Structure 1
């Protein structure tokens, strides 16, 4: 069904996972698991119950051994994840991935004591160990591990929760993924995947958009009870664990992982909600006027403008567009991004059984990231490529920190991806001499920003309300639909019209299932990048070098330290307004253009 990319002179890329393993039966994969099992047993024998007695040098060496062992296990797990992502509907691949998860969980259980014992060290004991340079290298990782001290349970309970994860949360997530991989939507006499059906919602043909919307709503509604069960089960599972661990709110654990204070997230959410009328309500009212109607049907929310030629991009055009934009900012960024194309680190071809989303998986520092996306030839797909390559560049630069410290919290993980989008957009905008083309580009960017900021905060509010209500008992599928519709009306405004089919669209949002309360990180990252780009556009001295250093820091610094060189502070309410004003300014220009 992917006729809109048929003009590409080359087939869309499929990634080459050989840098991880040749295939699921590769002898090296089996040997790595065997070696990791033996290493984990030896590690436990050597260090369990003894961390307090180690001097700084020995403690540093122990962390180094833990990092090597963790990387070995992560490499196998990442291979399973990537293989499954492009073969979600393949039962044999699903079995392999589940087996790998269970095997790794069993091995890692032997090392679970390590972080638990680290959190039982007193501040004084840890400070003494950190006086050694070998140990001090891991200072930021130790800081992040110990952030969870007060929420840590007994060793036996931690072990039980870890071992049961593969038959608990992970099993429900797998059910969600496999259900959507097998699901098909009737479109124009053919059976479309979720990715193809969602893509049709931005088709130039209004009748096709409506058919896709109805097909999506109908099929999602047929499965709504199953997704309600999954959602309720996972929300209750989280509530039980949150209560045991003493988290005051459902979002609190995610905020701790994101290394951001509850009050900062509350300020972000409050700022965006206050801006709904100035942003989404105003823009969709403008778009309705462009369509010559008082209100837009929900399937027209992401529709091309009536006079837009809906230009299609070949894969080569998308590649050149993004790489040129990156090179215009800094040659090193473009050089790193180009590796993804030359070494087959991208899987872009849509096909049945493939994950419908997009991601850049960092895998492990000793290998490299891999990007998954579904390229349909639209301008939004070019922006998705720019987004995921931003992640990829970030992950390559941060890899020098090592496995334990390369990973960034979600709040700053979106920085490079959204910045990459902004660079690409501004590059396209500069080349748009035709006023009509400029309007199309601006409208597309505004819609992407509304989807990233307004839409994701609306998703966050949906999650918050669902988890809050779940504490009082199971939330009925009808009530889930009510919450969804209420929030859509509040966030998108009176210029959008919804029908009953739209009540079930909450079911396909994977972040609700995979990573509870992930979604606000997109809005955090978008507003952060808008503020950063504003500093860059105003000629901030040495911006490029400071930016690359920020990416290289990986997870070693928190948002305050990362933003300080640019004179920015996310705890300042003016910071969020500065980011939202960028979106508002684009809408101002669109109103002027008419």
Structure 2
């Protein structure tokens, strides 16, 4: 599920605030009409039969198939992915609506277990495809244009060829995944959802406590930060155990697969070359002084402080507009921004609001943060928010709807080709945010309000680029250190602090307890090294937006074509029509230059 890293989405409590208007909730009927829907049992029965039949028909002979037979096999496999994806989407989305409900957790766990058992029969597919000679694959593709359309799928599978294990070991890994990473992931999610924080006598959830870090009252921000540190510290042994176990499990599997680095698997999944990611990482780290260090020094000056504390990082700026934005206004703002770019974009986004495709209110047990889940290509995406009426929440809506638009457009590629690598999956979401921001900025005549808007956007971009690359560096250090042995909570804390001071800059002081804040970030648990995709997407969009502002002829059509491509093309091929190339180290400097230019403008306003 694509979504935003939790730390980017600081909000404040107010779920029951009627001034926000009627907030929409999901209607999952387009997947299934409840857990008793007979179609669930029917689909599971079909999957059990079809998985066994697929194995019976093809195991041991995939390399012998002609083009027509291979096409049939691929289409049958795609149908299995579609049906299993529908069942898991339903189970997963129900669970995320209330992660503390034992019945929902059981339904998800049981469904996951059944599907894992059924699909073990399919593990041979990628193993046998990887044993076919390259020349044979080329011959098959040349013989059938319909099959050739699936070449990117074959390329993705065959990228794993050097790291493939024996058939027996691959089946074992597939089978035990339910009690491995998936089980530890659930333990983390359920623990986080159940945490409570005592803030000045009031008991709050994680989301509500994190939201205090954006409160106008500095004393409340401090109280929130200290409450977080107290609870994280109390639970640190468990979070360290989860982190150690998952990192060790990954190290073992990577070692058996002979993967050269802990990041290799993520780069392969993202279809991005390691050197491209390193160029991005190096460019951002080199830019820390002219981005985050410079901006936070300005923020300290605005706040009248010599030093910033960690609870000041996401503080509202003096004279910031703390008006709560009703849901209807948020909807109108985003749809108008989308329509201003191209009416088709607003038309695709509109049904999300009217048909139960968005779950917006904050509710007990609901998953924190925000995401857009594409479900399957014959249904539609669902968007999860925790909407509390802040301007940042409107940007989050624009972001997640961007994902939704992308997923709707890419669905035409079919189940196997619609999914976009994480590095490109952030393109439409960040672009949607930028459209919304620029529309609001252009409508602002008051210099003081313009300054606040620019500063807010700079903060968001720093959270997206600087902070996520710092997270990536933390993970790199963590996984390297875990290869040397078990890490104590203090060891992990020290790694966290080593990237915080470097990325945030000398104006910050770090309270006692901040060293534990790594523990609540879900991406470290669910998707190791995912975080660089945010920085990749932001840099890519900044470069794209520059091309758009320059009046590139036919930009909108080229943009829609890029989104429609889904995962069917490599990033080089997708960016070429815009004259962009992410493998060029200077490419990243363009995006970082846009952030720096906004800080230049803010500094000029000081004069």
In structure 2, distance between residues paired with 1:81 and 1:44: 27
| RMSD (CA atoms) | 1.1
The 8 Å contact of residues 8 and 316 in structure 1, kept in 2 or not, is answered as no
Match in the other structure for 1:206: 218
Confirm or deny that 1:57 pairs with 2:68: yes
1:199-218 Cα offsets, whole Å, 9 max, x none, are 11111111111111111111
SS at 1:504 equivalent: helix
Deviation at 1:392, TM superposition (A): 0.3
1:354-389 Cα offsets, whole Å, 9 max, x none, are 111110000000100000010011011001000000
Structure 2, unaligned stretches of length 5 or more? Answer: 1-11
Match in the other structure for 2:230: 218
SS at 1:3 equivalent: coil
2:47 corresponds to which of 17, 36, 45: 36
Matches within 5 A, 1:440-589: 440-589=452-601
Confirm or deny that 1:382 pairs with 2:424: no
Match in the other structure for 1:114: 125
Larger RCO, structure (CA 8 Å, separation 6 or more)? 2
TM-score by length of 1: 0.99
SS at 2:203 equivalent: strand
Match in the other structure for 1:290: 302
TM-score by length of 2: 0.97
SS at 2:98 equivalent: coil
Confirm or deny that 1:48 pairs with 2:59: yes
> More deviation in 403-412 or 50-59?
50-59
Match in the other structure for 2:36: 25
1:184 corresponds to which of 186, 192, 196: 196
The 8 Å contact of residues 307 and 509 in structure 2, kept in 1 or not, is answered as yes
> More deviation in 478-487 or 406-415?
478-487
1:407-428 Cα offsets, whole Å, 9 max, x none, are 0100000000000000000001
The 8 Å contact of residues 5 and 314 in structure 1, kept in 2 or not, is answered as no
SS at 2:407 equivalent: helix
Deviation at 1:15, TM superposition (A): 0.6
Match in the other structure for 1:254: 266
Match in the other structure for 1:11: 22
In structure 2, distance between residues paired with 1:253 and 1:185: 36
Deviation at 1:6, TM superposition (A): 2.1
The 8 Å contact of residues 4 and 312 in structure 1, kept in 2 or not, is answered as no
1:368 corresponds to which of 358, 380, 388: 380
The 8 Å contact of residues 276 and 491 in structure 1, kept in 2 or not, is answered as yes
Confirm or deny that 1:140 pairs with 2:152: yes
Structure 1, unaligned stretches of length 5 or more? Answer: none
1:95 corresponds to which of 87, 102, 106: 106
Deviation at 1:71, TM superposition (A): 0.7
SS at 2:416 equivalent: helix
In structure 1, distance between residues paired with 2:338 and 2:18: 25
In structure 2, distance between residues paired with 1:3 and 1:449: 25
SS at 2:383 equivalent: strand
In structure 2, distance between residues paired with 1:294 and 1:4: 35
The 8 Å contact of residues 357 and 373 in structure 1, kept in 2 or not, is answered as yes
1:409 corresponds to which of 417, 421, 434: 421
The 8 Å contact of residues 95 and 105 in structure 2, kept in 1 or not, is answered as yes
Match in the other structure for 1:348: 360
Match in the other structure for 1:324: 336
Match in the other structure for 1:74: 85
SS at 1:404 equivalent: coil
Deviation at 1:51, TM superposition (A): 1.2
In structure 2, distance between residues paired with 1:10 and 1:588: 38
The 8 Å contact of residues 186 and 192 in structure 1, kept in 2 or not, is answered as yes
Deviation at 1:9, TM superposition (A): 6.1
The 8 Å contact of residues 361 and 369 in structure 1, kept in 2 or not, is answered as yes
Confirm or deny that 1:270 pairs with 2:289: no
Aligned CA distance change for structure 1 residues 4 and 106 (closer, same or farther; 3 Å): closer
The 8 Å contact of residues 5 and 377 in structure 1, kept in 2 or not, is answered as no
1:128 corresponds to which of 139, 157, 165: 139
SS at 2:528 equivalent: coil
Aligned CA distance change for structure 1 residues 417 and 54 (closer, same or farther; 3 Å): same
> More deviation in 183-192 or 52-61?
183-192
Deviation at 1:485, TM superposition (A): 1.3
In structure 1, distance between residues paired with 2:14 and 2:268: 45
Deviation at 1:7, TM superposition (A): 4.3
Deviation at 1:189, TM superposition (A): 2.9
Deviation at 1:86, TM superposition (A): 1.1
The 8 Å contact of residues 15 and 363 in structure 2, kept in 1 or not, is answered as no
Aligned CA distance change for structure 1 residues 170 and 4 (closer, same or farther; 3 Å): closer
In structure 2, distance between residues paired with 1:171 and 1:469: 24
Deviation at 1:25, TM superposition (A): 2.4
In structure 1, distance between residues paired with 2:492 and 2:20: 46
The 8 Å contact of residues 386 and 424 in structure 1, kept in 2 or not, is answered as yes
SS at 2:198 equivalent: strand
Match in the other structure for 1:421: 433
1:548-574 Cα offsets, whole Å, 9 max, x none, are 100000001111011100000111111
In structure 2, distance between residues paired with 1:312 and 1:436: 19
SS at 1:110 equivalent: helix
1:60-109 Cα offsets, whole Å, 9 max, x none, are 11100100011101110111111111111111111110000000001111
Deviation at 1:12, TM superposition (A): 1.2
SS at 1:432 equivalent: coil
SS at 2:122 equivalent: coil
The 8 Å contact of residues 268 and 524 in structure 1, kept in 2 or not, is answered as yes
The 8 Å contact of residues 36 and 72 in structure 1, kept in 2 or not, is answered as yes
Count residues in correspondence. Answer: 594
Confirm or deny that 1:164 pairs with 2:176: yes
SS at 1:472 equivalent: coil
In structure 2, distance between residues paired with 1:199 and 1:549: 38
1:234 corresponds to which of 227, 234, 246: 246
The 8 Å contact of residues 15 and 361 in structure 2, kept in 1 or not, is answered as no
SS at 1:406 equivalent: coil
